[in-house]
Amino acid sequence: MLSNQPGTSDSHFRRHRPKTLKRCSRWRRGSHSDAVCGHRKRRSAKKPVVRKDYSADAGAVCFSRAGVGAKTIAMFEGVPRLLTCFWVIFPRKTGVPFHNFISWQDTRASESVKSLNNSLLMKLLQNSCRLLHLVSRSQRMLTMSRFVFTTQQACPRLMWVLQNVPEVQKAVEEDNCCFGTIDTWLLHKLTKGSVYATDVSNASTTGCFDPFKMCWSGLITFMTSIPLSVLPPVKDTSYHFGSVDEEIFGVPIPITALVGDQQAAMFGECCFHRGDVKLTMGTGTFLDINTGNRPQHTLGGFYPLVGWKIGQEIVCLAEGNAGDTGTAILWAQKLDLFTDAAETEKMAKSLEDSEGVYFVPSFSGLQAPLNDPCACAAFMGLKPSTSKYHLVRAILESIAYRNKQLYELMQKEIDIPVTTIRADGGVCKNGFVMQMTSDLINENIDRPTDFDMSCLGAASLAGLAVGFWNDKEELQKLRKSEMVFRPQKKCQEYALHMENWVKAVKRSMNWYTNM
């Protein structure tokens, strides 16, 4: 199996062995696209390309390291890196994007979000659905009565592009306009334009999808003036989408899975049962809980997603996120606070505490439970005695504090007992963050041997589609745990420090007034 996980500045190609799910991979820094952040509100990536030489070369490295040829590959699966609301609009005929990829951290549509949420139509929707819920007790009506737009959803930003990019407006008029998260665009390019589609997991991240009816929401698209004609057909997650064009690898390779980043990680962690929880700490932090076969209504902090659809099986999730986890660590590295992120654990552990220094990880605003796009990132409590060690520890502590906030919000909003908690993502390599998180939430956290679960989850879904595995129970036997972090301190011991950190967070809120 060959998997591709594209990112903003790198792309992974991996070849997985079906019996063990072991992989060989190549890291291609800068081979996919380059991150762009020329304005605080705009997070994007340069227009990407899929070149025959790049795809074939990266894939060939995987083949050579595994000792196989392209003809032995049974299937190809794609999983977008980062949240799948990393999207683009492109013409159906050429596939060349009209604009840079727009990141999930982009807040250019903040004014549109305010306008939509304060509109008479939104109030009418919420009140009508509230009344309908009282009569029908429908969970869908309850969810819609609490629905609000956010800057992290793709639909407000898609509306912004449709209103502000003339080339896109013209393409819509000519019926030559396609919207897609990165998986849809790659599928279109890898099949030389013969396939235009997405899956339910990716569709559910956009804010335009109704997870109760499992289709695009006519109501949401009406409110945002998004033509249904620009949205791709929605397929199952584990599905035969087509084949990679023969020119790219020399042979046509079936594409048998498309899946969103967090949903793929959830599947890779084998969180198959209701109440299973996954904590991913990468560029951002994503806390997901398996809610069974129906979406779970929330109060607005967590949002419902479709995890995956395999035949008649549908698994739904509820997710909350914090935007600047790995981002804060990379920023600190650029400031030369350390050379390698692996050093930070030892630096943090060398101190008793951060000496009253607190960090607010808010380069892209604060997400749930505070939901303030105007918050700023900040260090507070600096003193002449403050060293880079204190700064690093404060950054790592802020990640654990945000984890606690998300976990407490999940317990408040989702009335489902937690069965197990599993962690993944690059930041979960940091034992200091993992242990502090375990202490703060007073729960065991299982860390796997493979920290990057997204590609593994996509490979597993693709393997099920072609019969490499008969069922998910076989996959559970392949998952390996590296260690389990167990609470070593009572959460009360952190109470004063977290209280002061929350005070720092509140002082950073509403900093930017021109949003």
| pLDDT single digits (tens) 79-132 | 444 344 467 899 988 999 998 888 766 778 888 999 999 999 999 999 999 999
Res 459: pLDDT: 87
Average pLDDT score over residue span 22-38:
47
Q: Which DSSP string corresponds to 424-481?
A: ESGGGG-HHHHHHHHHHHT--EEEES-S-HHHHHHHHHHHHHHTSSSSHHHHHHH--E
Sign of the CA dihedral running 44, 45, 49, 50 = negative
Higher-pLDDT residue of 55, 246: 246
Res 72: pLDDT: 40
HEC string of 180-223 equals EEHHHHHHHHHCCCCCCCEEHHHHCCCCCEECCCCEECHHHHHH
Distance between CA atoms of residues 411 and 392, nearest Å: 29
Higher-pLDDT residue of 5, 427: 427
Query: How close are the terminal C-alpha atoms of the chain, in Å?
Result: 45
Res 71: pLDDT: 46
Backbone phi and psi for residue 8, each to the nearest 5 degrees, phi listed first = -70, -30
DSSP 8-state code for residue 163: H
Which H/E stretch holds residue 91?
none
Burial class (CB in 10 A: 0-12, 13-18, 19+), 385: exposed
Distance between CA atoms of residues 466 and 460, nearest Å: 10
Decide: helix, strand or coil at residue 243.
Answer: strand
CATH number of 323-418+427-448+486-508: 3.30.420.40
Distance between CA atoms of residues 276 and 295, nearest Å: 15
Phi-psi region of 263 (alpha: psi -120 to 50; beta: other; left: phi over 0): alpha
Higher-pLDDT residue of 179, 71: 179
Say which residue the tokens 């903003």 belong to. Answer: 8
Residue pair 45/103 in contact by the 8 Å Cβ criterion: yes
Neighbours of 378 (CB within 10 A): 15
Residue type, 484: V
Rg of the Cα trace of the chain?
22
Res 2: pLDDT: 65
- CA contacts within 13 A on the Cβ side of 43: 20
Look up the pTM and report it.
0.88
Distance between CA atoms of residues 148 and 509, nearest Å: 20
Distance between CA atoms of residues 356 and 435, nearest Å: 20
DSSP 8-state code for residue 342: T
Is residue 37 scored above 50 in pLDDT? Answer: no
Mean predicted lDDT score pLDDT of the chain: 86
Sign of the CA dihedral running 186, 187, 189, 193 = negative
pLDDT tens, residue by residue, 244-260: 898 887 888 889 989 99
From the list 244, 248, 211, 208, the residue with the least C-alpha distance to 229 is: 208
pLDDT tens, residue by residue, 364-420: 899 999 989 889 999 999 999 999 999 999 999 999 999 999 999 999 999 999 999
Q: Which region among 22-31, 84-93, 162-171, 428-437 has the lowest average model confidence (pLDDT)?
A: 22-31
Say which residue the tokens 């549109």 belong to. Answer: 112
Q: Which region among 85-94, 229-238, 322-331, 440-449 has the lowest average model confidence (pLDDT)?
A: 85-94
